[in-house]
Structure 1
Amino acid sequence: MFINQEDAIRPSLKGKRIALAFFENSTRTRFSFEIAARNLGAQTLNFSASSSSLSKGESMIDTIRNLEAMRVDAFIIRHPSSGSAEMIGKSTDKHVINAGDGSREHPTQALLDIFTLREYFGSLEGIKVMILGDILHSRVARSNIFGLTTLGAEVAVCGPATLLPVDTSRLGIRIFSQLDEALGWADAAIVLRLQLERATGGYLPSLQDYSFTFGLTDERLEKIKKHLPVLHPGPINREIEISGNVADRIQPPGFSQSMLLEQVTNGVAVRTAVLELLISPQPDT
């Protein structure tokens, strides 16, 4: 998608160059950042690790420094290694936005999830949010736990014991081992993508076993007899962590309301705000 600067919503970043440095695959996050940047009038540079000098042995830091020498004003970093965004931030004086680093954090995903829930409930104070799935490896879970609890929500996690961090209780959240009990407690649910390799990595007996025990289905939602907004950061594994019917249900009546596409739409708005707050020239105070 190409947006002319004349068509920009608010060209506050006109003349700025933003590098989308994605060292792992992404669809929603990368495109929403790109649309957000172009909406603000910025130029975007799309970086592909597989076709860059990294494939010839260049270090990540040298790559960033070379891009910086091309007068890049900000970096949006997605990397499979935890702590990578922080390391890059210490090696440059340009803005660095973490678009997901390993299993550590995904701040803008949490912001858009929080925004989506706040639109729905009006306020997050006292709202009970249950995060379901692979908490151990989820950067989305960590960022959401920090953000939601900061804003006064009650947070719980639910999943197999093998996919829960050993220090979960230190985060000040509830832990459920039974999904039906967790659903009965919750006002909203965030379902996490199950990385399919977990079934062969010794964490789970099988994908079928996980789906039977922790998959979010109509049958489970009908048991609790209440309306439940359902979020998912994507991409989804249909009929594993969430049924296709639950993922696609958009409007009541019913026992759930899928917020998945609203999350995608809100991702552009939230990332637009992040870019403008961080990068646009601020008036003198």
Structure 2
Amino acid sequence: MTLTLASIKERSLLGLYDLSKNEIESILDRAAYWEAQPTKLTPVLKESFIANMFFENSTRTRFSFEMAEKRLGAQVLNFAAAASSMEKGESIYDTVRTLESMGIDAGVIRLKPIGVLPQLAAKLNIPLINAGDGNNEHPTQALLDLYTMRKQFGSLQGLHVAIIGDIQHSRVARSNLWALQKFGAKVSFCAPETMQAPELAAHASYISMEEALQADVVMMLRVQLERHTNRLMKFADDYREQYGLTVERAGQMKKHAIIMHPAPVNRNVEIDDELVECESSRIFPQMSNGVPVRMAVLERALK
């Protein structure tokens, strides 16, 4: 299969900021197609080799991509930076170019540094799919979030989505913001002052926890406890008291509202244990929806 440079760029998924509403909608529609398939294995990508290149730790996203790849019949190569020559000082670019030289057809990539991904994409001759880059974007997470909301409400138009937590360091918040606004949804943020991203205030307003509980979708973000190791217990308790979705606070939500979370969940910190799988929660369905969404993204990259 020969891809032109323009085609490679179109088939890559680096973020949702520049992706059109129609393109996002086509991915969601194709995800619905894959979810409806009665068989788990449909080998439309059986001649494709895909490398999962994770330069930052991941469990759920990597396994979700691998499940999607194998359901499409692709040949999968898994790369983890901790077990590689990255420890010997090899650059991210050299590692990715090495895999490209060996004949992979597409790469799924997660990395910490911001700005590296578009530079890589410009130099490579294979489509790249962003599995999370720094605190910039996490497009497939936002796509599965939109897919989950669309299944619940039928349409995204007019929905109020409140995103609560560490907005400053959240690529999930950014990708959801860019995508949801294209569909006419209202996005609000709720965060402690130290966790706000001032540059996003022009795109979404910061509201109180009480206001956030009146949204149609209450999306909790993972509290990055590793940033607060010196005072972990006090921080966790304080955070839950002020910004955690407690059982009491959940009682203030609208009857039709749903709870979402990108996971992993810090139970009894950002959300009470008994709410994780309550009737309003869509946390585990989100994870299920991630597989057909990523199948659609992979098929788009290699169709």
Structure-2 residue corresponding to 1:238: 267
Structure-1 residue corresponding to 2:251: 222
Contact 2:146–2:180 (CA<8 Å) still a contact in 1? Answer: yes
Using the alignment, how far apart are the partners of 1:139 and 1:181 within structure 2? 23
Structure-1 residue corresponding to 2:228: 199
1:224 to partner: Cα distance: 4.2
Does structure 1 residue 109 correspond to structure 2 residue 155?
A: no
Using the alignment, how far apart are the partners of 2:195 and 2:184 within structure 1? 25
Structure-2 residue corresponding to 1:174: 205
Residue type of the partner of 1:71? Answer: G
Residue type of the partner of 1:213? Answer: Q
- Of 30, 34, 41 in structure 1, the residue corresponding to residue 66 of structure 2 is 34
Structure-2 residue corresponding to 1:276: 299
Unpaired segments of 5 or more residues in structure 2? 1-38
CA displacement 1:257-276 (0-9 Å, x = unmatched)? 11011101100000000001
Unpaired segments of 5 or more residues in structure 1? 1-6, 252-256, 281-285
1:24 to partner: Cα distance: 1.5
Does structure 1 residue 211 correspond to structure 2 residue 244?
A: no
TM-score scaled by length of structure 2: 0.83
CA RMSD of aligned residues (A): 1.9
Does structure 1 residue 155 correspond to structure 2 residue 178?
A: no
- The alignment partner of 1:258 has SS state of coil
User: What count of residue pairs does the alignment treat as equivalent?
Assistant: 265
Structure-2 residue corresponding to 1:3: none
Using the alignment, how far apart are the partners of 1:70 and 1:95 within structure 2? 15
- The alignment partner of 1:134 has SS state of coil
CA displacement 1:128-151 (0-9 Å, x = unmatched)? 000000000000000000011111
Does structure 1 residue 67 correspond to structure 2 residue 119?
A: no
- Of 77, 82, 92 in structure 2, the residue corresponding to residue 45 of structure 1 is 77
Residue type of the partner of 1:187? Answer: D
1:58 to partner: Cα distance: 1.2
1:278 to partner: Cα distance: 1.4
1:239 to partner: Cα distance: 0.7
1:82 to partner: Cα distance: 1.8
Using the alignment, how far apart are the partners of 2:59 and 2:276 within structure 1? 18
Specify which structure has the bigger relative contact order, considering alpha-carbon pairs within 8 angstroms and separated by 6 or more residues: 2
1:167 to partner: Cα distance: 2.1
Using the alignment, how far apart are the partners of 1:8 and 1:242 within structure 2? 33
Using the alignment, how far apart are the partners of 1:74 and 1:144 within structure 2? 24
Structure-1 residue corresponding to 2:56: 24
Structure-2 residue corresponding to 1:142: 174
Using the alignment, how far apart are the partners of 1:84 and 1:235 within structure 2? 25
Using the alignment, how far apart are the partners of 2:271 and 2:139 within structure 1? 23
Residue type of the partner of 1:33? Answer: F
Does structure 1 residue 98 correspond to structure 2 residue 127?
A: no
Contact 1:8–1:41 (CA<8 Å) still a contact in 2? Answer: no
CA displacement 1:209-243 (0-9 Å, x = unmatched)? 11100000110121346342011000000111111
CA displacement 1:108-139 (0-9 Å, x = unmatched)? 00000000000000001001000000000000
Contact 2:165–2:222 (CA<8 Å) still a contact in 1? Answer: yes
Runs (4+) of structure 1 exceeding 4 A deviation are none
1:68 to partner: Cα distance: 0.8
1:198 to partner: Cα distance: 3.6
Distance 1:229 1:8, change over 3 A: closer
Say which is worse superposed, 160-169 or 271-280, in terms of deviation: 160-169
Residue type of the partner of 2:47? Answer: G
